[in-house]
Amino acid sequence: ASEIKVAGIGKSYGAFCALKDVSLDIGRGEFLTLLGPSGSGKSTFLMVLAGFERPSQGKLFRDGVDITDQPPERRSAGMVFQGYALFPHMSVAANIAFPLRVRRKPEDEIKRRVGEMVERVNLLGHEHKLPAKLSGGQQQRVALARALVFEPGVLLLDEPFSALDKSLRGQMQAEMKRLHEETGTTFVFVTHDQSEALALSSRVSIFNHGEVLQVGTPQEVYERP
């Protein structure tokens, strides 16, 4: 797992300032949740971490190395984004195998790692199905497996469960918590649901108008002294 240092990141779109001087230390193996109203800059921040958006100011470090100018494929970041759907024409196994294919891993290693992930997310017997043949929860588990299969330094999740109904959402939260504990990966998770943040996070950071207002454990942030 990686530790990430965010030093004075700003992001402007023309005259509009989506992120203002955001600084955060994200610890190795931490589960950090970004909370805040819609439009507060949470997704933009995740896109900067992923390398899909270039910051206008500031620097990013992973394990002490400056990655500000690194392209997404070198960031060792797994992603579960709303707009980052499963490949509909590929089987479950092929979807999960994809990040390993891109990295030109040998076939025997791909088979082994895909097999392990399929088991880890309880999709045994579904390997050769197309995503459309799966339930919503199963599709989410394929997305989690695909994001974790290459053992990324950090997993970035942008409201991955917002389309699910309440009970399924609860199940997926438990699943995510388990995967975090089992893999020890650093998780950065975006939500606007306070109870979700409380249930999952080691720390919470509150975004508002592109700024981090507060960062701390859920107790520190929500319990008044």
Interface residues toward ligand ADP, by CB under 6 A: 13, 16, 18, 36, 38-44, 91, 93-94, 97, 110-111, 114-115, 118, 127-128
Residue 121 CA to residue 53 CA, distance in Å, equals: 30
Residue 29 in tokens: 């193996």
The nearest distance, CB 216 to ligand ADP, in angstroms, is 19
The nearest distance, CB 70 to ligand ADP, in angstroms, is 20
Q: Let me know: does 76 contact 153? Beta carbons within 8 Å.
A: yes
The nearest distance, CB 225 to ligand ADP, in angstroms, is 28
Contacts of 199 (CB under 8 A, 6+ apart): 173, 177
The nearest distance, CB 88 to ligand ADP, in angstroms, is 12
Nearer to ligand ADP, 35 or 200 (CB): 35
Nearer to ligand ADP, 20 or 28 (CB): 20
Nearer to ligand ADP, 1 or 205 (CB): 205
Nearer to ligand ADP, 12 or 171 (CB): 12
The nearest distance, CB 118 to ligand ADP, in angstroms, is 6
The nearest distance, CB 208 to ligand ADP, in angstroms, is 9
Nearer to ligand ADP, 18 or 200 (CB): 18
Nearer to ligand ADP, 127 or 211 (CB): 127
- Looking only at the bridges linking them, the beta strands covering 203-208 and 57-62 are unpaired
Residue 97 in tokens: 């195998």
